[in-house]
Structure 1
Amino acid sequence: MGAVERMTITMPAELAETLRQTVAGGEYASTSEVVREALRDWTRSRDTERRELEALRAAIKAGLDSGPGIPADQVFAELRARYAAKS
């Protein structure tokens, strides 16, 4: 884990009580352990969101770089015509 740094945090009373109950229930050895796990989960979630956002931006760029778009009305009209021709 590397160097350990002591921090003081402030939270609503309800969260503090949940934290204390979790430790008292034996799920974790200390409140610090709970907070560390929560921060690891948050970091993983944030990293996932960043990767998804980057992928979305890349997909948008690829779409924009692929050339001019076709109006939706035109696409649907062509699809309707194809479907009608097959009927």
Structure 2
Amino acid sequence: MNVSLTPELEQFIQSQLESGRYASSDELIIAGIKLLEEQERIYKGRFDELQREIIIGIKASEQGEVVDGETVFRELEQKLQQRRQQAG
């Protein structure tokens, strides 16, 4: 497999190799691909979780279990203020 890299990416790879963090460009590229793979796995998990939450919300809405938007925002603002006070 042949890969063309921009000069900036080549410079980055070279700087990483010079730092001693990676023994070879192959090792560095494999580490990058593994990181991308992990990121994709996390994204997929979050996406699946979001889909489940949407389904729960739709079912609750169909059953009439809804909360007025103003109430939700008021409660969120109160929680935010509490966190600010705790942090301060």
Gaps of 5+ in 2: 73-88
Aligned match of 2:69: 72
More helix, by proportion: 2
After superposition, the C-alpha distances for 1:5-36 in whole angstroms (9 at most, x for unaligned) are xx221221011111012113321111111010
2:37 to 43, 52, 73: 43
Task: Give the CA deviation at 1:70.
Answer: 4.5
Residue 9 (structure 1) aligned with residue 3 (structure 2): yes
Give the structure-2-normalised TM-score: 0.67
Aligned match of 1:82: none
Distance in 1 (CA, whole Å) between partners of 2:49 and 2:27 is 33
Counterpart amino acid of 2:35? D
After superposition, the C-alpha distances for 1:22-75 in whole angstroms (9 at most, x for unaligned) are 1133211111110100110111011101101100110110110122334435x5
Indicate the structure (1 or 2) with the bigger Cα radius of gyration. Answer: 1
Gaps of 5+ in 1: 1-6, 77-87
Runs of at least 4 residues off by over 6 Å: none
Residue 53 (structure 1) aligned with residue 50 (structure 2): no
Counterpart amino acid of 1:57? Q
Distance in 1 (CA, whole Å) between partners of 2:14 and 2:26 is 11
How many residues are paired up? Answer: 70
Distance in 2 (CA, whole Å) between partners of 1:70 and 1:60 is 15
